[in-house]
Amino acid sequence: MLPGVAESADNSTRSEARGIARPAVDEWLTAHVDGATAPFDYTLIAAGGSNLTFRVTDAAGHQWALRRPPDGHTLPTAHDMHREYRLMSALAGSAVPVPTCVAYCDDNSVTGAQFYVMSFVDGHILRDRASCAGMTAADADVATDSLVDVQVALHTIDVDAVGLGDLAKRDDYVGRQLKRWRDQVERANIRDLPLMVELHERMTRAKPREVAPPALAHGDYRFDNTIMNDDYKIIAVLDWELCTIGNPVADFAWSMLYWTDPGATMFVLSDPPTLEPIFSRSDEVIRRYKERSGFDLSDLPYYRVFSWWKQACIVEGAYARRLAGATGGMTSSGNVHDIATRVDRMLEHAHELARGVL
């Protein structure tokens, strides 16, 4: 999570720089990144529960971002660094703003895994309500418009024209996703999740016909995976780990999990910025996306169920990694079994939403 980010001091940790093997990484940067001068300082950006992202500062004060998989246990098909690098490279100069890709290391011997380097994009990240301090209702509306407009741009980009036509299959996105996430949970083999299995089977039987054309589906698009300028317009979209070719309506439904309205009983984020009264409510965001994309959203209730189920599967993967000793970008404080409780609550919420839908 969070490639190319800017962060405040209280969101980063220096010292250990786990996942960075010195002096090998220093030597690689000096040889492959133009203008990079040793020694380097590595600051782990302590956000997210998956890939590790570091702010790299050289002797002259130049900054880049370095991204690599978590150190320790990982699940098959996860943490594909080259996929992220390819996606951002392909989108450079498009209507979807991304950090500039600088260099890629495919030699695992350097630091135990492949990694890449990109530009460090400075700006605002709306992670929580505190990050909205000083924003007006007009600012929030600009940010909302930008969030919707960039997602519509992503969902309508010509994948063949940008060289991503072979990124994935173009049909049965939900079927592929249902299989992928159930398989990952079952490979981890941490515990029995009968509700996960039940919902998987019901969603498989009730899959709606895909009416929107296949598109780039980011897989985790939301405010805190974007960077905004001082006008609250998006200047970089981050975290391309889950991106594929898929159903844009399902991808939009996933994004709406993170748009929490006041009074909601189930949150993904612990302190979502959209709880601030300056932001529009979720039905207005849906209206804007529908109007600007032109897509039929009549199956959105199904995709909400699917999204909460998928969220539970992903968090179960984070639980498996924590039990195995890997933390990704998360701090390791707190009771690891609280993660399992979150998974259970997400599955129960999906089950409730499924009434009358599946």
Task: Please name the residues in contact with 277: beta carbons below 8 A apart, sequence gap of 6 or more.
Answer: 262
- What are the pLDDT digits (tens) for 30-51? 999 999 999 999 999 854 557 8
| pLDDT at 54 exceeding the cut of 90 | yes
Res 17: pLDDT: 79
Q: What is the pTM of this model?
A: 0.90
- The tokens describing 255, both together, are 């994004």
Helix 282-293 and helix 248-256, axial crossing angle in degrees, nearest 10: 160
For residues 102 and 116, give the distance between their C-alpha atoms in angstroms, rounded to a whole number. 8
Judged by average pLDDT, the poorest of 16-30, 227-241, 282-296 is 16-30
Res 170: pLDDT: 93
Domains and CATH numbers, the chain: 9-119 (3.30.200.20), 130-353 (3.90.1200.10)
For residues 9 and 119, give the distance between their C-alpha atoms in angstroms, rounded to a whole number. 19
Report the mean per-residue pLDDT for the chain: 91
Res 2: pLDDT: 35
| pLDDT at 260 exceeding the cut of 70 | yes
Q: What is the mean pLDDT of residues 80-95?
A: 96
- What are the pLDDT digits (tens) for 278-337? 999 999 999 999 999 999 999 999 999 999 999 999 999 889 988 987 655 545 556 889
With cut-offs at 50, 70 and 90, classify the pLDDT of residue 246.
very high
| pLDDT at 344 exceeding the cut of 90 | yes
- Count of other CB atoms within 10 angstroms of residue 158: 11
| pLDDT at 103 exceeding the cut of 80 | yes
| pLDDT at 202 exceeding the cut of 90 | yes
- What are the pLDDT digits (tens) for 266-276? 999 999 999 99
For residues 290 and 132, give the distance between their C-alpha atoms in angstroms, rounded to a whole number. 26
Helix 248-256 and helix 173-188, axial crossing angle in degrees, nearest 10: 50
Res 333: pLDDT: 56
- The tokens describing 251, both together, are 């991808």
Res 45: pLDDT: 83
What is the rounded radius of gyration, in angstroms, for the C-alpha atoms of the chain? Answer: 20
Structure-model confidence comparison of residues 14 and 39, the more confident one:
39
The closest of 69, 68, 53 to 121, measured between CA atoms, is 53
pLDDT above 70 covers a percentage of the chain that reads 90
